[in-house]
Amino acid sequence: MASISISLTLIFTLTTLAHSDSSPPSLTPIEQHSVYTILASINPRIDWHSLYPDDADLCDSGPHGLVCDLFTDPKTNRPSLHVTELALGFVSDSSPNPPCSPNASLSATFLAPLKYLKSSSSTAASPTPPALFGSFGSFGGFKRLRKLVLIGSGVSGGIGDWVGELVEMEQMRISRNRLDGVVSGEIGQLRRLRVLDLSFNFFDGTVPESIGGLSKLLKLDLGSNRFVGRIPESFVGLTNLVFMDLSRNRFSANCGIPLFLAEMQSLKEVYLSGNPLGGQIPEIWKNLGGILGIGFSGMGLVGNIPGSMGVFLRNLSYLSLENNRLEGECQRSLGC
């Protein structure tokens, strides 16, 4: 497992179930050992066992970022104590979490004993850190995950069919890593997904049509990858989508700006820059008055800028059309 020489924040949030008991149980030995293992991997220079002795209650007197809660054991119907949140590294100046060492590393297998894991977050401060978690596929077993955030962590691998088992997922933000390959169509099984950010990786192949079935999706960012083919027409089903960034990919030349954008009336921002789609800017703006930002630069666009853009896009605050072959004048109402 490669190490990292950066500051990072790790937050692991688990589902909670309120339960009252006059004498709360202690943390199980398995989970307690897991916590010590995680702490040691984050900063091996600290003697965690001396700082927080084995006979102490980690939940009551453990690190600042450790939170526990009571659950009901389905087999015995008795209360059981589990780690519900583990926050390590810098969060803010006012949050004295345990520090991360320059050679910190963490394997996803260390989290396996934390059976109620609901959220895993890692944000790295370096633009090119070595791998933090290793293979991305190691997260396939965490079927309770609702939020997965791995930004700039250097994680490698791809999104295989296992992703379809993460049916509780609501946010998947895995940008600026070393992920590659074709994205499995099983990603369409994540019906609760609201945020999907795969930007700044090395994904290739066509974008799965099944993404168009994620009707709760609010943000879709596939920018800066190597996707090819057509932009899926199934995206018209993303009726709640507010933000869409497909820029800097390799979508097919001469396909033009998708006409189905006209039906995505919740859109606030749309970015397609850097794809050789070609063609003219279509007259699709009548029902898109909520648009705030448009990025259509470097797309090989020709013809005039439609007058309807100046009429209907009254809320537009960002418009990028440079590096095209457009003709005529740009209306003042568009900020030209």
For residue 50, tell me if it sits in a domain: yes
Q: What is the pLDDT of residue 82?
A: 79
For residue 264, tell me if it sits in a domain: no
Q: What is the pLDDT of residue 102?
A: 62
Domain that holds residue 57: 1-115
Q: What is the pLDDT of residue 237?
A: 97
Closest CA to 101 of 86, 89, 92, 111: 89
Q: Model confidence at 336, in pLDDT bands (50, 70, 90)?
A: low
| Spatial CB neighbours of 58, under 8 Å, sequence gap ≥ 6 | 27, 32, 35, 52, 66, 68
List pLDDT tens digits, range 219-257: 999 999 999 999 999 999 999 999 999 999 999 877 899
Which residues share a beta bridge with 70? 81
Percent of the chain with pLDDT over 90: 47
For residue 146, tell me if it sits in a domain: no
For residue 100, tell me if it sits in a domain: yes
List pLDDT tens digits, range 17-69: 344 445 557 788 888 888 888 888 877 888 888 888 877 778 777 776 677 77
For residue 133, tell me if it sits in a domain: no
Which residues share a beta bridge with 149? 121, 173
For residue 183, tell me if it sits in a domain: no
Q: CA–CA distance from 88 to each of 48, 51, 123, 276, 322 (Å)?
A: 13, 15, 11, 44, 44
List of E strands, the chain: 8-14, 66-72, 79-88, 117-124, 147-151, 156-157, 171-173, 178-182, 195-197, 202-206, 219-221, 226-229, 243-245, 250-251, 269-271, 293-295, 302-304, 318-320, 325-327
pTM: 0.70
Q: Model confidence at 14, in pLDDT bands (50, 70, 90)?
A: very low
Q: What is the pLDDT of residue 17?
A: 39
* Domain count for the chain: 1
Q: Model confidence at 118, in pLDDT bands (50, 70, 90)?
A: low
Q: Model confidence at 12, in pLDDT bands (50, 70, 90)?
A: very low
What's the gap between Cα 302 and its chain centre? 35
Q: What is the pLDDT of residue 49?
A: 85
Q: How far apart are the first and last CA of the chain?
A: 52
Q: Is residue 137 over pLDDT 50?
A: yes
Q: What is the mean pLDDT of residues 59-88?
A: 76
Cβ(138)–Cβ(166) under 8 Å?
Answer: no
Strand order in the sheet with 269-271: 66-72, 79-88, 8-14, 117-124, 147-151, 171-173, 195-197, 219-221, 243-245, 269-271, 293-295, 318-320
For residue 223, tell me if it sits in a domain: no
Q: What is the residue whose two structure tokens read 């448009």? A: 294
For residue 239, tell me if it sits in a domain: no
